[in-house]
Amino acid sequence: MKVRETAIAGAILLFPDVLRDERGFFMETYHDRRYAEFGIDLTFRQDNRSLSSRGVLRGLHYQVAQPQGHLVMVLAGEIFDVGLDLRRGSPTFGQAMSMVLKADDFSQLWLPPGVAHGFCVLSETGEIHYKCSDLYAPGDEAGVLWNDPDLAIDWPIDSPVIAPRDQKLPRLRDVPENRLPTAPFR
């Protein structure tokens, strides 16, 4: 497996080994001991799968009291994926990072608990699978406005399709400290 650091402390991009032959391919999408070598040493508690159309933008979401780490993988298509570091004490607090994730290169992105997550779909459809380090907790959800000018995220779409609730999220500078994730930087 190849691993690359990202602009956010503790977030990494992974390229698992893929065995290919005339029949197709095989890969391990997760192996606890192998991933622990790269700092992903926790129990995943929930898996999610999402399908969205071109131009759909979801995020930037996080949970306050039950922060979730995400191991994101695209099963079909291509997405522009974003992480926003909200961990108190992190050297990259308040910084956003982005990258394109594609099904055909089998890349995975690890975002530690306390890093908000969002993405937009670049292909006709995008099917995403992500492992979460904690359970979804209704009422614990929070978010930051996707186009907060202070974050300077260069989204590659002009007219995204966005849920009404995501259009009303606050800018990061307007998020009260008690609404930031409880996951401190480690």
Which residues are catalytically annotated? 61, 130
Name 163's Cβ contacts closer than 8 Å, sequence gap at least 6.
58
* 58-62 average pLDDT score: 97
CB of 61 within 8 A of CB of 117?
yes
Predicted local distance difference test score (pLDDT) of residue 185:
77
Which domains are present in the chain?
A: 2-17+29-175 (2.60.120.10)
Mean pLDDT of the chain: 96
Please determine, for residue 186, whether its predicted confidence score (pLDDT) is greater than 90.
no
Q: Three-state DSSP class for 157?
A: coil
pLDDT tens profile 40-54: 999 999 999 999 999
Q: 89: alpha, beta or left, given left = phi > 0 and alpha = psi -120 to 50?
A: left
pLDDT surpassing 80 at residue 159: yes
Query: Distances in Å between the alpha carbon of 158 and those of 57, 154, 163, 168?
Result: 11, 10, 16, 18
pLDDT digits (tens, 9 = 90+) for 79-111: 999 999 999 899 999 999 999 999 999 999 999
